[in-house]
Structures are given as structure tokens and as C-alpha cells.
Chain A
Amino acid sequence: DQQVKQNSPSLSVQEGRISILNCDYTNSMFDYFLWYKKYPAEGPTFLISISSIKDKNEDGRFTVFLNKSAKHLSLHIVPSQPGDSAVYFCAARSIQGAQKLVFGQGTRLTINP
């Protein structure tokens, strides 16, 4: 079963506008959520995280929102830049398996000039 789901395989956004990437999860024991960014032929790099006790975390152009009742989180990128074109992975950590992360399938974001 897919505990972390990113239902949009791809997203295309115009430069300067807002990009919103979504992630849903099913496991109530997840206590930490992370977003990773991946360029082609490179490993994923950590972008931003949020604890389950918070509903928002902001870092520059990147903001992650968490809605625990809906088991949903989203990553907002404002304003979107061409360098943001990459695959974005949502990941979650369970209280029961604190050393491990569960990843979503990824969403390919393309920023158009």
C-alpha cells in the first residue's frame, strides 16, 4: 500500500507564478514530513520539512502547509523560477520507524518562461 501519495505526476507553471505541489498520506503515525528536490542525473536534495505539531513552515520562497485532519500537505513555491524545474518528492517519517523515510512517487515541475 502506498502510504505517501503524490497524485500529480507532472505540473507546468509559468515563471513568476505560484507552484503548488500536493501530497497525501494515510499513516496517522507520521510525525515529520520532508520535501526533496531532484535534478536529472543527481541525487535528491533536502528542501524543507515540517513537524506534525505545526501547520506551516516557511523558508524563503518555499512554504509547506500541513493539514493533519485531511492527511494532506502541500509545497508552495512563490515566485516560481526556471531553476525550480525538477522532480519533487514528498517524504514522511513514522514515530514507529524513526530511522526511515517513506517517499511519494514524485511530481515533475516544469517552469515555463
Chain B
Amino acid sequence: NAGVTQTPKFQVLKTGQSMTLQCAQDMNHNSMYWYRQDPGMGLRLIYYSASEGTTDKGEVPNGYNVSRLNKREFSLRLESAAPSQTSVYFCASKTHGGVNEQFFGPGTRLTVL
């Protein structure tokens, strides 16, 4: 079991460029999440998908879009990157119901110049 995988690990973009962060999980989890981590801010939820076919905004959705491609995959897209989107991005997943233990991927470090 690979758990939650994220690609790429690192990325440098210029302002205005677009990119998609990929996330996949092999634990047959229903729910998937995208967070960003910034110094002194903790983990902030960008978007989540409670189940295949549904997506909802989190705390900081502006400038991002998501796609729940299937049960395994949940991608995050930056259509026009801005320096304020420089951050470390984490994908997470969990089973439906029960204790809300989320399993996290290793993260993608994104720098927007």
C-alpha cells in the first residue's frame, strides 16, 4: 500500500502560469482533501470531496479548482498562479464515518515567482 501519493514533489511557476497537482490514494477511502500549509497558519482546507462525484469549498478556495476524477484521484488546479499561492500543499483522505483520522500525502512544495 502506497497510501496517499502526490505529484510533483516540487514545482516552480511564474506568475500567471497554470498547473495541476495530482493526488491518489489506494486505501479505498471515500473522502479526499486539499490543504495548504503556510508558516504560522497551520493547515488550511482548500477544497474537499466527501465522496466520488461531489466537491465542496473549504476555508481558502479562491484561485483554485478541483476535480474528483474517480474514487482514487483528486486533483487541484491553479489556473493563473499568484505569488500568494506559494505554499506547501497536502492531499489527505479518510474513510466515511468513524473517527475523523485523515491520512496525508508527503506534500508538494510550490513556489510562484
The answer to whether residues A103 and B99 also contact, given A42-B106, A43-B90, A43-B106 and a CB cut-off of 8 A, is no
| Chain B 62-104: CB-based contact to A (< 8 A → 1; otherwise 0) | 0000000000000000000000000000101000000111111
Q: How far is the CA of A43 from the CA of B50 in the complex (A)?
A: 20
Whole-angstrom distance from the CB of A59 to the nearest CB of chain B? 13
Task: Tell me which residues across on chain B come within 8 A of A4, comparing CB atoms.
Answer: 42
Interface residues on A, range: 20 to 34
Task: Tell me which residues across on chain B come within 8 A of A43, comparing CB atoms.
Answer: 4, 90, 92, 104-107
* Most central of B4, B44, B100 by chain A CB within 10 Å: B100
Task: Tell me which residues across on chain B come within 8 A of A34, comparing CB atoms.
Answer: 99-101
Q: How far is the CA of A43 from the CA of B45 in the complex (A)?
A: 14
Taking a contact as CB atoms under 8 Å apart, the answer to whether A9 and B40 are in contact is yes
The answer to whether residues A101 and B102 also contact, given A41-B107, A43-B107 and a CB cut-off of 8 A, is yes
B41 contacts partner chain A, Cβ-Cβ < 8 Å: yes
Task: Tell me which residues across on chain A come within 8 A of B104, comparing CB atoms.
Answer: 36, 43-45
Task: Tell me which residues across on chain A come within 8 A of B33, comparing CB atoms.
Answer: 100
A29 contacts partner chain B, Cβ-Cβ < 8 Å: no
Task: Tell me which residues across on chain B come within 8 A of A63, comparing CB atoms.
Answer: none
B61 contacts partner chain A, Cβ-Cβ < 8 Å: no
* Most central of A99, A100, A106 by chain B CB within 10 Å: A99
Taking a contact as CB atoms under 8 Å apart, the answer to whether A103 and B40 are in contact is no
Whole-angstrom distance from the CB of A7 to the nearest CB of chain B? 12
Q: How far is the CA of A101 from the CA of B44 in the complex (A)?
A: 9
B12 contacts partner chain A, Cβ-Cβ < 8 Å: no
Selected contact of A105 from candidates B42, B50, B58, CB within 8 Å: B42
Whole-angstrom distance from the CB of A24 to the nearest CB of chain B? 13
Task: Tell me which residues across on chain A come within 8 A of B92, comparing CB atoms.
Answer: 43
Q: List 7 A-B pairs, minimum CB-CB distance, nearest first.
A: A43-B104, A103-B43, A105-B42, A103-B42, A46-B101, A93-B100, A99-B50
Q: Report B's interface with A, CB cutoff 8 A.
A: 4, 31, 33, 35, 40-45, 48, 50, 58, 90, 92, 99-107
